[in-house]
Structures are given as structure tokens and as C-alpha cells.
Structure 1
Amino acid sequence: MVDPTSDLGEDVDEDDAPECATCGTKIVQSPTHRVVTRVEDGRAHHRHFCSEECLADDDGA
């Protein structure tokens, strides 16, 4: 699997692309892609968002 969080987002197939945590849209080569990372119990958890609007609308679940 290609890393969907790479700096450039190149060569990410839609099947491997992350989904927006708010609206469920597949995120492929999007300049508005945002990732929120938190650490719980020593493990990193990532939530992907397709836009600032979806990030702002996130309920944090």
C-alpha cells in the first residue's frame, strides 16, 4: 500500500486513499487534505479530513 499521508500524495489509488472522517469522501491528491493526530496509550491515531470545513464540523468521535 502506498502511504496515503505522503507529502505529495502521489500515486495514491482511490482504493488505498483515506476517507474524510466527517463526510466519507475519498481523499486523493487534495490540497485541502488535513490530518489530525493524537496519541493515546502510546499509539498514534489519525483522522483525515477533505477540507477545513469538514475539520471544523468534526465531532471528535
Structure 2
Amino acid sequence: MVDPTSDLGEDVDEADAPECEHCGAKIVQSPTHRVVTWVEGGAVESTHFCSAECRDAYDQ
């Protein structure tokens, strides 16, 4: 599998692409793609958003 967090989602097949945590849209070659990462229980966790707007709406 190609890393779905690669720059702009290059070379990511839609079947392997991450989904926006807020709206569920597949994120493929999206320059507005946002990834939020944190450490929980000693492991790195992350979640993906298709835009800054979805990222902001998720926090509310």
C-alpha cells in the first residue's frame, strides 16, 4: 500500500485512500487534505480531514 499521507495523495488508489473523519469523503490528490496526529497510550494516532472547514467542524 502506498502511504495515504503522501504529498497531495499522489499514487494513492481511491480504495486505499483515507476518508474524511467529518464528512466521509475519500481523500485523493487533495491539496486541502489535513492530518491531525497525537500520541495515545504510547502509540501515534492520526485522523484525516478533506479540508480545514471539516477539521474545524469536527472540533465543534
TM range, smaller chain: over 0.9
Correspondence for 2:30: 30
Task: State the distance in 2 between where 1:23 and 1:7 align.
Answer: 21
Tell me the number of residue pairs that the alignment of Structure 1 and Structure 2 aligns.
60
CA shift at 1:8, angstroms?
A: 4.1
After TM superposition, the runs of 4+ consecutive aligned structure 1 residues lying more than 4 A away are none
Correspondence for 2:19: 19
TM-score (norm 1): 0.91
Correspondence for 1:4: 4
Correspondence 1:53 to 2:25:
no
Matched-pair identity in %: 72
TM-score (norm 2): 0.92
Task: State the distance in 1 between where 2:6 and 2:16 align.
Answer: 12
State which drifts further: 2-11 or 30-39.
2-11
CA shift at 1:6, angstroms?
A: 1.1
Task: State the distance in 1 between where 2:49 and 2:27 align.
Answer: 8
| Unaligned residue ranges in structure 2 (runs of 5+) | none
| Unaligned residue ranges in structure 1 (runs of 5+) | none
Task: State the distance in 2 between where 1:42 and 1:27 align.
Answer: 27
Task: State the distance in 1 between where 2:56 and 2:8 align.
Answer: 23
* Higher share of residues assigned helix: 2
